[in-house]
A and B are shown apart, each in its own frame.
Chain A
Amino acid sequence: MATGSGAAAAAADAEEKESGSRMITLTSNEGKAFVVTEASARQSATIRSMVDDGGCVDKGFPLPNVDSKTLARVIQYCDEHGNKEAHTVDERAALAKFDKDFIAELDADKAFLYDVTMAANYLHIQGLFALTTQCIADTIKGKTPEEIRTAFGIEYDLTAQDEEEIKEEDTHA
């Protein structure tokens, strides 16, 4: 694979990424640049199609919808899944363990889970998106609407008419 341009190479040094792979710069909405391997960046279908379309690989990709904290966490996921092999049983188990710990941390911080979910959706990172939406679904399972509101910090805004309809729909009240 061709080595990247001067800017990317310099950034690569800064990030101490392994050589031999093209490096790609992702920029958060706060203007902070993150340099990742192409394999890591390709976890995102959005970036993958831009790279494949011969987009501005050298200039990097600005991501106006993602803040630095969220992008750093998303990249952590992409690095793990993009740069590591998953051929053997052990390798797959290690990735599954990573996913489990990764989502457990987000589960404990629902505001951050929201940001990571939105970023995974925007960047079309299939695995991460599945992981976060599953986490949201698991949070909802078995809870009453009130418990769900508490879990996500959602304000009650239903009208009396909504409540009437809900009473009709509820099978377990």
Chain B
Amino acid sequence: MEVKQVEGTTAAAAAATSSWSELPADLIGQVLLRLPSLADRVRLRAVCRPWRTDAKRQAALPPPLPWFALRDGGLVDHLGAPVRRCAPILREGVTDYLAVDNLAFLVHKRVGCSLVNPLSASSSAAEETPLPQLANAVLRAMNNSMFYTVGKTKMPYVKVILSSPLDSSPDPLVAALILEGYYVAISACKRQDATGFGSVSDWTRKEIHRIPGKDYRMHIADIVFLNGRLYALTVKEGLYVFEPNSAKCDGKLFMVRRWMRLPLNVRLGDLDETFLFEVFEADLSTTPCQWRKVDSLGGHAIFLGSECTKFVCASKCVGGVQEDCIYFMHRTFDNPSREYSGSCVDPLGDSGVYNMTNRRITPLLPEAVVAKLYLKRQFLTWFFPADV
């Protein structure tokens, strides 16, 4: 064998004294990419100073695996482990709440409302963002309607969304689907102007992108912000747009059609079983726009829930968020009697992970985790912790 002597005894010595704390920054980044759980990312950053410094310098990572929000405001992670929280979400004067991405939307007595970050360590009234304009719009909507009254309608809010993160600039817009989905209220988060409410039929009619099919009662299934515009999807698959600011639109808008079967003689909402999803992308370049069926989500995944829906980048790692998958948990109707007196309640409702590539549905969570969640005796919703 040919043996060449190269300058290298010093290099050999250096290589021999390997030290994990000196792992190069780009390798730290590669390891972080393979940690889909926020708890693991946080712990890696708490190992030693070099890892901590390098990990902080990494470019944005794919969002971590989402958590689950309980009705009492408790949070559990994807393994069913409780998440520490400093201030209880449900407290004096707060009657209900909705998970909004990484925030909690608190509903106060009557229709008052505010946003709070449940994970912020010094969670106090000072950290709360009150939304008096939104509450006003909801009040006016109730006064205008024949069916809803302030005293009798306990929880007017169905779903709440923000146009951009709360601390972003310019001031983000907050929109709420209210009154069982027949009205939408909108306001600025901090400014005192720009507020409104209405059913979609009141919206800037000339700008309506309409899918063929009539929406007599304008029952809205979902709302979403895209580039400053607010879109509403009706249960008849009509798409309406509301433009508080006219920004150039270059994003994508998807509609998910969910097919489910339920046994004969069973109430809708009790034993629903989703067996197929169809995903459509809105072609916004035409008027009226058209839904185009798509076979993939282009490296993304969708989290579907009754209140909180999110389109995220897939993690591209083992155990992380898988691309072209729809993670769903859903309950058509809340059935409190079953929840409180029934023998058991599936905390995830009709749930699973639908893979668009092979059209298979796999369980959303391992059996052991679901067993833990069963003890909570309530239906859960998604909560998306922010990785900072």
Give A residues with C-beta under 8 Å from B: 7, 10-11, 14-15, 25, 27-33, 35, 60, 62, 64-67, 70, 110-111, 114-115, 117-118, 121, 129, 133-134, 136-137, 140-145, 148-149, 152-159, 162, 166-173
Contacts and interface: CB of A to CB of B under 8 A. Distances in A.
A113 B172 CA distance: 48
Contacts of A121: 24, 26-27
Given A62-B4, A144-B43, A159-B49, 11 more contacts: A11-B2, A25-B2, A31-B6, A33-B1, A60-B2, A114-B23, A136-B34, A149-B47, A171-B77, A171-B84, A172-B83
Contact of B3 (A31, A65, A70, A142): A31
A66 B8 CA distance: 10
A92 to B, nearest CB: 17
A121 B31 CA distance: 13
A46 B126 CA distance: 55
Interface in B5-47: 5-9, 11-12, 15-16, 18-21, 23-24, 26-27, 30-31, 34-35, 37-40, 42-47
B81 interface: yes
A142 B40 CA distance: 6
Interface residues of B, number: 49
A166 B46 contact: yes
A133 B35 CA distance: 11
Contacts of A145: 43, 46-47
Contacts of B73: none
B20 A110 contact: yes
Contact of A115 (B18, B26, B40): B18
A29 B47 contact: no
Looking at A29, A64, A152, which has the most chain B CB atoms within 10 Å of its CB?
A29
B30 A169 contact: no
B237 to A, nearest CB: 39
A141 B6 contact: no
A170 B35 contact: no
A155 B21 contact: yes
B27 A117 contact: yes
Contacts of B19: 114, 154
B119 interface: yes
Contacts of A141: 35, 37, 40
A145 B121 CA distance: 20
Given A166-B45, A172-B84, A33 B30 contact: no
B46 A169 contact: yes
B42 A171 contact: yes
A27 B388 CA distance: 44
Contacts of B77: 171-172
Contact of A29 (B12, B30, B119): B12
B59 interface: no
B368 interface: no
B11 A64 contact: yes
Given A140-B35, A157-B49, A172-B39, A60 B4 contact: yes
Nearest to A167: B121
Nearest to A158: B49
B38 A33 contact: no
Nearest to A11: B2
B6 to A, nearest CB: 5
A149 B48 contact: yes
Contact of B31 (A35, A67, A133, A168): A133
B47 A154 contact: yes
A51 B26 CA distance: 26
A172 B81 contact: yes
Given A133-B31, A162-B49, A169 B42 contact: yes
A144 B40 CA distance: 8
A133 B40 CA distance: 15
Contacts of B83: 171-172
